[in-house]
Amino acid sequence: MHPGRQLAVLGGIFVVLYLLVFFTGGASGSFTDRLHPKLGLDLVGGTQATYIASVQGGQVPSKESMEQARNIIENRVNALGVSEAEVVIQGNSNIVVSLAGKADDQLKDLSQAAQMRFRLLIGTTGDVSSVALNPPSAQPSAAPSGSAPASAPAAPGGSAPAATSSPSSGGQGGGELAKAPTPTPTPSASASASAEAPATPAQQAERADVEKKVGAAAWAAAEKLTAPVDLSSNPEAGKQFANFAKLTGPEVGTLPAQMQFNVPTISCKQLDDRPNGTIDDVKSEAAVCYQSAKVLLDKAEVVGDDISKASPQIEQQSGQWVVSLDFKSEGSAKWAALTRKAYEATQSDPCFVAAQSLYGQVEHCAVAVVLDKTVVSAPQIQGVLSGTSQITGQFNAGSAKQLADQLNFGALPVTFTSGPAQTVSATLGIQQLQAGLLAAAIGMGLVAIYAFFYYRLLGSVIFLSLIISGLLTFGALVVLGRSMGFTLTLAGIAGFIVSLGVAADSFVIYFERLKDEIHEGRSPRSAVPRAWVRARRTIISANAITILAAVVLYIVSVGAVQGFAFALGLSTVLDLLVVFLFRHPIMTMFASTKAFLSPRVSGLGRVLRRASTDPKEA
């Protein structure tokens, strides 16, 4: 054989690996800083957040829905590039997520329901509480679109954001309003398009409590409203509804959509404070705030489940990030029917009057794209659309990917509110790490002393192999931490330490086989290749079993145990690499030296002396 070739290959692997360590994406700071692997929660501390599940009527969510929610949240965490995050269910209604490092921004959006609804805009009115206004100007705008870039519509008398038919994708859409027009009250659509689902017993009980809080007279007056109250012409008309301004967001969420929309003292802030899931019912109308106005939306004829795939993309003409939507076959038909309804509406239809009130000069009705309780855009429909559409707006790479992941992984089956979040200290983990590394160092020292005492020159092969394996493992940790988010934890360190035992076993197998060959009468130089051939199969089999065990453990486990399995499997694979590219070639080179033939230096000792004195074996 040519040992120099194997050693050259190993050297090439080292060069490529550490080029990736020092110069690939994510490598920043000094050379020392670039050598830091990604450490886990138990080593560097991190953030632990609790999400509290709730269903209507205060009922306890089912175990099936909680497990489904846990899986969805875990998929969202993994999509962030975070490895070894712990997502566990505590009690009947809590999900706890633990992430290493500063993860506040990553955790805050994990519990969003991500329920997408496409609703026809059928009414609009201004918000009387100007101090409490919370216009969604910072929210990304969105519109079903094709290849055209987002455009800012003019104020009243100009044009509204629009979605028009496109040969390639079925439509193109506008983006966020540059300046919200001063809306004027429009007639309610209840007479023509009422879609309020019957209240459940729990909702009826909650509304009864709200009725007591606002008073019977105010409640009765609110029930009689069929259109928004115009306070601009009669400011005194709002006094009888003053108590509605005292309601909290969750309390407002129990009211019928028509009441939320028509009562003038219910503000945008109250609507924004409603919990997620309040307007998810596809059979009910919804009152929301959009561009400084309260708007009334029709029932949802197209929903997130009608989308087959969502993907973040860069729009070619505008260079902006968008989220591309591919509809299922049934969803595409629903989307075409909804846009046809908006496109073919006459000027007397409530949706046309609402779009005109919101945007000024319009030609067709608008369809609102609603994510949870937020309208991300409400474009005017310029044609019957079908096929691929886009959500466009003020996205960056991260926010576009986040929305696409939420849509792809599905909506949460229950509503969550953010509970307590706390910072986890790494003090205990660092103490355990120091103790573990000290124990490993002592163990490695004892192994090295024994190896040099028992194998002498061969002991140097053991020592050098372990150093090379450690350098390969460390470089792989740094690269994997940047590329796939692998996080080193105490469990992973335990996996690496256990792998040292596997590596030591392969040395014993090889060296003892070498002694057997010399004992059978072969010279050390000829015994080395024969011992390698006979020991190679055993070494591969032993390492393969360890790798298979690590793979099975990784598949069936979660959290820290999964990290242990990954570390064990990785280090075992790298040990095999060192066996083939270093240990055997270096032994072949040693076999040609005088020191290897000396019983006192080589470590073969008695075997060589016996072979030299036994005529049969010589």
Q: Could you tell me which residue, 309 or 168, shows the higher pLDDT?
A: 309
Chain-centre distance for alpha carbon 321: 18
Averaged pLDDT, 7-19: 90
Q: Are residues 105 and 121 in the same domain?
A: no
CATH (domain of 601)? 1.20.1640.10
CATH (domain of 59)? 3.30.70.3400
Total count of domains within the chain: 3
Residue 419 lies in a domain: no
CA angle in degrees (0–180, nearest 5) for 94-97-98:
140
Q: Are residues 541 and 394 in the same domain?
A: no
Q: Are residues 298 and 152 in the same domain?
A: yes
pTM over 0.95: no
- The Cα–Cα gap between 51 and 62 comes to 16
Q: What is the average pLDDT value for the chain, to the nearest integer? A: 76
Structural Rg of the chain based on CA atoms:
34
- Name the residue range of residue 64's domain: 46-111
Averaged pLDDT, 378-388: 80
Q: Are residues 151 and 91 in the same domain?
A: no
pLDDT tens-place string over residues 94-131 = 888 877 666 555 566 666 666 788 999 999 885 433 32
Residue 417 lies in a domain: no
pLDDT value at position 391?
72
Last residue of a domain, one of 76, 94, 111: 111
Quick check: 110 and 97 in contact, CB under 8 A? yes
Last residue of a domain, one of 359, 379, 411: 411
Enclosing H/E stretch for 121: strand 116-126
Q: Are residues 492 and 344 in the same domain?
A: no
Count of Cβ atoms closer than 10 Å to residue 514 Cβ: 26
Does 159 have pLDDT greater than 90? no
pLDDT value at position 329?
86
Last residue of a domain, one of 411, 446, 476: 411
Quick check: 391 and 323 in contact, CB under 8 A? yes
First to last CA, the chain: 25
69-83, 261-275, 355-369, range with the lowest pLDDT: 69-83
533-537, 577-581, 609-613, range with the lowest pLDDT: 609-613
pLDDT value at position 295?
92
How many H helices and E strands in the chain? 22, 14
pLDDT tens-place string over residues 178-191 = 223 333 444 444 43
Q: Are residues 92 and 137 in the same domain?
A: no
325-334, 498-507, 561-570, range with the lowest pLDDT: 498-507
Q: Are residues 365 and 244 in the same domain?
A: yes
Binned at pLDDT 50, 70 and 90, residue 362 comes out as confident
Task: State how far the alpha carbon of 358 is from the alpha carbons of 128, 142, 154, 187, 230, in Å.
Answer: 16, 17, 11, 13, 15
